[in-house]
Amino acid sequence: MASITIRNIDEKAKQALRERAARNGNSMEEQARLLLDAAAQNDKMDEAQFVSTGYEAGSRSTAIIDPYYPASGKRILMIISGGIAAYKSLDLIRRLKERGVSVRVIMTKAATEFITPLLVGALSHDKVFCDLFSREDEQDVGHIALAREADLIVVAPATANLMAKMAGGLADDLASAVLLAADVPLLLAPAMNPAMWNNPATVRNVETLANDGVHFIGPETGEMAERGESGRGRLSEPMEIVAAIGQLLDDAHKPLKGLRAILTAGPTHEPIDPVRYIANRSSGKQGYAIASALARAGAQVKLISGPVDLPRPPGVERVMVQTAEEMFQAVENALPADIAVMVAAVADWRTIASAEEKIKKKPGTKTAMTLKLTQNPDILKSLGHHKKRPTLVIGFAAETQDLIKHAKAKLKRKGADWILANDVSHETGVMGGDQNTIKLLSNDNTRTNVEEWPTMAKGNVATKLVDKIIVHFETQTVNV
């Protein structure tokens, strides 16, 4: 019987093994044994398809399988809905199985018109489920268990019809019922004719699903099966879908997993009377981009948003508010947290009392109107000095003059760790625009550091900030 010594594995593989073992809480030996088990399972399926380092079994296969695929050992529920691209799902099953993923399949009735459950079952090595009202299947597994037992559900291909059902919460067949009952990540790989993809109804449904936190891959642009047709609507290649599944299940790329973040974003509206309010030009784009980047990095994100017309970023819990006081209260309710990023352009003042009825002009007079204002709570300042203060408190400084001077003062006054200062003068177009130019101020015991970032898209500002947050928490952990 052969034995393997971890010491003899090459450095790169050893490092990957070490990371994977740490992620799963295993010793390296235990992890190596699990990988070999997974490989052996694969061997049973098709010896020629699993090729370990440098070894090629027979002449049928040239595939080199990545033994460090993040989803190996995980359970995927795959839903095949009816479209010409259904045949590609066979390759997807094969490639997932090669990587040690357990694949269970549900087919819609339409899908069985394109490929047979027998063929699918032969590849997945499992029973294929098709019928919501099958007594045998319900006794066997049950549709709720099908939804819950998976680590991820992938729908490939996802037709316009199935997406419409999902967006509307319908559950009139096994696939849609399982999708409605699922509380695991959902990945859709749509495939349809470009006209169907571009139809306003499909556009609406995709947006609804994305807002509900559903992940998408594709569709791609290219030639369609129908002769002479081309455009966006092709199913992504199986290997692209394999990669997307890996990414969604890869804990190593979720460095902020286990950390809670609170964000504020957008303007606040302070009512004057039932139809008028005090507001500012904030679009919420920067705050939403940061919320989304934090969620992608694995943080559990609560976004307290003022009135903006932006979709909820996937994987983010959102609370919509109108006024600064409501925002303050929502932030209090969201505590405790590890990270706070206060991006909202909170209105500094509100009227002492907003009028119950619409304020009318006095006929025949041109006297100036006076509003009595009072100050709103300073949310960032309250967090910076809170008894439940988050570990990392980050604010913005929106200035139109003396940027650094004012930002330094805010860093100190508000008790923040970092301030992202930006010039919001009208000519910069930052308020409401898509770009931002940031100077990051942080306190280093005795002095304030200023880091200048080049002008970049708000999405890139978000990624850069989140990268810094990741480094901050990594170094903290090391120091403990």
Quote the least distance from Cβ 140 to ligand CTP, whole Å: 54
Matching residue, tokens 């006794």: 139
H or E, element range at 328 = helix 324-334
- Shortest distance in whole angstroms from residue 331 CB to ligand CTP: 8
- Supply the minimum distance, in Å, between the C-beta of residue 144 and ligand CTP: 43
> Least separation, in Å, of the C-beta of 395 and ligand CTP?
3
Q: Return the number of the residue (108 or 280) whose C-beta is nearest ligand CTP.
A: 280
Clarify whether 280 is annotated catalytic: yes
Residue selected from 316, 330, 398, 462 as contacting ligand CTP according to rule CB under 6 A: 398
Tell which phi-psi region holds residue 363, choosing left (phi > 0), alpha (psi between -120 and 50) or beta.
beta
CB atoms within 10 A of CB 55: 8
Q: Which span (156-164, 213-221, 269-277, 338-346) binds ligand CTP, by CB under 6 A? A: 338-346
Q: Parallel, antiparallel, or unpaired for β 186-190 and 152-158?
A: parallel
Q: Which of 397, 438, 462, 469 binds ligand CTP (CB under 6 A)?
A: 397
Which is closer to ligand CTP, CB of 339 or CB of 380? 380
Q: Judged by CB under 6 A, how many residues of this single chain contact ligand CTP?
A: 17
- Choosing from 273, 317, 348, 423, the residue that interacts with ligand CTP (CB under 6 A) is 348
Residue with smaller CB distance to ligand CTP, 248 or 398? 398
How far apart are CB 448 and ligand CTP at their closest, in Å? 16
- Least separation in angstroms between CB 321 and ligand CTP: 12
Q: Which is nearer to ligand CTP, 98 or 270 (CB)?
A: 270
Q: Minimum distance between the CB of residue 400 and ligand CTP, rounded to whole angstroms?
A: 9
The structure tokens 């709103």 sit at: 376
What contacts 433, CB < 8 A, 6 or more positions away? 283, 285
Could you say whether residue 344 binds ligand CTP (CB under 6 A)? yes
Residue 396 binds ligand CTP (CB under 6 A): yes
> Which x/- pattern over 145-164 shows residues binding ligand CTP (rule: CB under 6 A)?
--------------------
Q: Which is nearer to ligand CTP, 214 or 324 (CB)?
A: 324
Question: Cα–Cα distances in Å, from 407 out to 7, 324, 412?
Answer: 53, 21, 9
Name residues contacting ligand CTP, limited to 90-119 (CB under 6 A).
Answer: none
Q: Kind of pairing, strands 418-423 and 435-436?
A: unpaired
CB neighbour list of residue 399: distance below 8 Å, 6 or more residues apart = 406, 407, 421, 422, 423, 424
Q: Which is it for strands 418-423 and 447-452: parallel, antiparallel or unpaired?
A: unpaired
Pick the catalytic residue: 42, 193, 205, 280?
Answer: 280
Site for ligand CTP in 352-391 (CB under 6 A): 376, 378-380
The helix (H) or strand (E) run that includes residue 91 is: helix 88-98
- One-letter amino acid of 298: G
Nearer to ligand CTP, 101 or 424 (CB): 424
For ligand CTP, what does the binding mask look like between residues 253 and 282, x meaning CB under 6 A?
A: -----------x------------------
Residue 377: is it exposed, middle or buried by C-beta count within 10 angstroms (0-12/13-18/19+)? middle
Token pair, residue 217, equals 């891959």
51: tokens are 């090729």
CB 265 within 8 A of CB 305: yes
CA dist., res. 82 & res. 200, Å (int):
21
Query: Nearest distance from residue 379's CB to ligand CTP, in Å?
Result: 3
Among 67, 73, 267, 395, binds ligand CTP (CB under 6 A): 395
Contact between 337 and ligand CTP by CB under 6 A: the answer reads no
In a 3-state reduction of DSSP, which class is residue 388?
Answer: coil
Query: Can you tell me which of 106, 241, 346, 431 binds ligand CTP, judged by CB under 6 A?
Result: 346
Q: How far is the CB of 414 from ligand CTP (least distance, A)?
A: 6
- Distance from first CA to last CA of the chain, Å, rounded? 44
* From 134-142, 222-230, 345-353, 449-457, span contacting ligand CTP (CB under 6 A): 345-353
Of residues 186 and 347, the one with the C-beta less far from ligand CTP: 347
Both tokens assigned to 46: 């098709």
DSSP 255: T
Task: Give the H or E element holding residue 260.
Answer: strand 260-265
Kindly identify the residues of this chain, within the stretch 411-430, that bind ligand CTP according to CB under 6 A: none
Any idea how long the chain is? 480
- Region of 377 (left: φ > 0; alpha: ψ -120 to 50; beta: rest) is beta
Site string for ligand CTP, 307-336 (x = CB under 6 A): -----------------x------------
424 φ, ψ to 5°? -110, 25
- Catalytic positions are 280
Residues that bind ligand CTP (CB under 6 A): 264, 324, 342-346, 348, 376, 378-380, 395-398, 410
